[in-house]
Structure 1
Amino acid sequence: MATKSDEVAPAPPLCDLIYLPVSADSVQCKHWNNALCCIRDIVSQPPGFGTPSSVTSAVNACAATLPAAEFSDLLQTRNIEGHTALYWAIVNNRPETFSFLAGFISQFSSDCSSDLRLACMTTSDNELFTRLNLGGNSNDPKDEPLRRSLGCPADEIQVAGSEPNQFVASFRIRMFQKRLRTTQDMRCEFIAGGRIWWLRFYMARIKKIWCAEIGLSGDSLPARPSSDAVLLIEAHKQKNSRLSNALQISLELADRYKPEPKHLSVAHVRALHKFEYSTAPEICNELGDWVMHDNSIYVDNEGTLHAKLKIKLSLFATPDK
């Protein structure tokens, strides 16, 4: 006859299997687990599920059971299908829920920011990506302190696209010359077509020539341009000068990923060939000396660069066999 100790315990519910802090006591574990189950249910629901007041009440009840720091950690930990609760609030189109949950976080952790970048890419939401400042500090840590020192407002990036495989990104880069003279290398990120792109202005170290370059961030889905991209830089009327036409720069595919095979092993050549089609090669061209000219017509009276990037992607990115 089986004793009570021999009886097989029922399998715990799914939410009880989620990782809990090792150092927490059993009561705190229970609070953490219950809060996580509740938050998961909220962010997993489709848009329109529940009233704002019911969501607010449920989240506040969860937050009341944990210290503020622990509740913040709970929201920023990848504990729901490998992603954070904030990720799912974005992907499931719950903007009010996302905003309310984000209010419990004083500053996003680096891991949470990375997860939010993926969420914005999944939803192709450049507006949220820009508003949360997910493209600046993570890739150019020098730019944010420099902008604060200069009293420089944030850059503006807007994306529009009438076709699935092409887009136009419009840039307003504040204090363009002053920042570029200081760092000699500026980069901004944006989301278009379900990818995370960057636009870079820099001084080529060998040729000592100012260049513009675009490419995909390391955490982006792959893409391949079908033709050269076009960067249009708007001209502005300056004192004692006439309004000029926009400067049009064709950004061409760089050949840096196509070195001579004879200098590489077969395995290296195959790796490069695979890499070339798994991420977009950089697309670049020279800018010219106008970048540093005083009173340049290509920045407005406040020093802002106005530019548009037009790019079309290939519908088929499979390499020839």
Structure 2
Amino acid sequence: MIIEKPLPIDPTPSEAPPAYDSITLGSQRSPLLDLKSPTPSAPSTSTSPSSPPSTSSKYPTSSASSSTAKGKGKVQWFNFPSKTSKDVKATTLGLIRDLVREDFQTTAAFGILQSCAEACKTNGVSLASILQEMSIEGHTPLYWAIVKRRPDDRQDDSTQIPDLLTSLLSFSTPLSSAAVADIRHACLITSDQPLFQRLRQSPDFNSGSATDEMLIGVTLPPDDVEVIDLPDDEGSFAVNFGVVKFQKRMMISKSISIEFIARGRMWQLHFFVEPENSRAQGRRPGSWCVSLSLMEHSPPTWIDSQLLIAEPRILKDGKSSKRKPTITMRLSSTSPLTPRSTYRGAGITEVVVNFEDIPMATSLQYSESSYIASDEKLRGRLEARLAKQEHDCIIC
């Protein structure tokens, strides 16, 4: 039998995301913040080897990465009953879920996201919003990309292929506060301190104030943070840090926060100036202080620690001059330390030390203090153990 009527028109929309077994990447790629390996402490943006760094953001926006993937063969499109925003969003969510579930660590992953970005843009859908939805078991795709991400020492840097997290982040900006919190939680779950510090260098994560940007510049050089877990049964660790332009930031911004992950917890070492309207007992308004506290999702714990600030070694006539005594500030809890987000009246939320109570610590406020290096950076070390306070040394 011969059917004279023409076949129905293929209802497949030309803007739908493609199947990822048919993607072939084009020759151009947008710059990415490569999270596979540690970045240097200098304020620079890590990019893929073939791409120049972006001057406006650590990650490119999706509009900058939405060029159509070019392939040698015909691209296979997903079939839709109609090309609506709802259909495009549903298919995009399914693709992203598959990428995260299979831990898709190839160049095709970025190509799939490029095609999704173009399809979303054509149909008035925000890919960045989709990537930040709690759409996969109560979390964002970014959370699962971190949880399933291989540690740095197991990454193959020779492939020059951005990992899945890098690709997802390149299409996710700007990040909402809820998405940032979900990413921070994932870093804590995996105890990935190196990744956490690299993420904090990006504009969406950086907690620096607008005043800090005026003092230091739009691209904030990161404060140095190095965490060392010590081999014992008391949860001991040490943190070496360096704070950029310490005195100027304290006098103008009046607040400097150093965040890090150690012993399955997220911590904040906070230098601050006591507010004028403060009613805190034993702390005079305007005095310089330092506190240690736990951040969200961290289990409560006892803490016995000390903050050590040594005078920088200065060479005169090729010889090292005698240094002043090390400033020592004891930060120990009298009851279990608890995050503010889960505090219910039991325990304490922070341990605070006033510089005025510590010999030599007040000298950190003075210009040309011998404890501040010539590069205006304050360098110190926090030594801690998860135990009740004892009278002997913290780490011997």
Q: TM-score range by the shorter chain?
A: 0.7 to 0.9
Q: Deviations over 1:202-224 (max 9, x none)?
A: 2345425422210012x232231
**TM-score normalised per structure 1:** 0.73
What is the distance in 2 between the residues matched to 1:303 and 1:107? Answer: 32
Give the whole-Å Cα distance in 1 for the aligned partners of 2:248 and 2:88.
Answer: 52
Task: Select which of 345, 358, 362 maps to 1:289.
Answer: 362
C-alpha contact 1:129 1:135 (8 A) present in aligned 2: no
Which of 300, 303, 313 is the equivalent residue of 2:376? 303
Residue in 2 that maps onto 1:55: 109
Q: From 123, 127, 133, give the equivalent of 1:77.
A: 133
| 1:146 equivalent among 203, 212, 227 | 212
| 1:64 maps to 2:64 | no
Output one character per residue of 1:39-76: Cα deviation in whole Å (capped at 9) or x when no partner.
Answer: 11111235xxx551332333334333211861111111
Higher helix share: 1
CA distance in structure 2 between the partners assigned to 1:112 and 1:289 by the alignment = 39
For 1:67, what is the secondary structure of its paired residue? helix
Q: For residues 135 and 117 of structure 1, do their structure 2 counterparts lie closer, same or farther at Cα, with a shift above 3 Å needed? A: farther
Q: Does 1:156 align with 2:224?
A: yes
1:286 and 1:149 map into 2 onto residues whose CA distance is 25
TM-score between both structures, scaled by the size of structure 2: 0.60
* SS at 1:222 equivalent: coil
Aligned 8 A contact 2:301 2:336 in 1? no
Deviates more, 1:83-92 or 1:176-185: 176-185
**Taking structure 1 as reference, are residues 57 and 182 closer, same or farther at Cα in structure 2, changes over 3 Å only?**
closer
Structure 2: any 5+ residue segments left out of the alignment? 1-81, 151-161, 338-342, 356-360, 389-396
Distance 2:185 2:146 in 1: 10
Q: Distance in 1 between matches of 2:351 and 2:290?
A: 8
The answer to whether 1:170 aligns with 2:240 is: yes
Q: Which residue of 1 aligns with 2:256?
A: 186
CA RMSD of aligned residues (A): 3.1
SS in 2 for 1:181: helix
Q: 2:264 matched to 1:198?
A: no
Residue by residue, what CA displacement relative to the aligned partner does 1:195-250 show, whole Å, maximum 9, x if unpaired?
22111112345425422210012x23223125x21111131145876333432221
1:253 deviates by 2.2
Q: Residues 224-243 of structure 1 correspond to what in structure 2 (within 5 A)?
A: 224-226=301-303, 228-237=304-313, 242-243=322-323
Amino acid at match of 2:242: R
Q: Distance in 2 between matches of 1:215 and 1:193?
A: 14
The equivalent residue for 2:143 is: 87
Deviation, 1:297, is: 1.7
Identity of aligned residues (%): 27
> How many pairs align?
268
Report if aligned partners of 1:231, 1:307 keep a CA contact under 8 Å in 2: yes
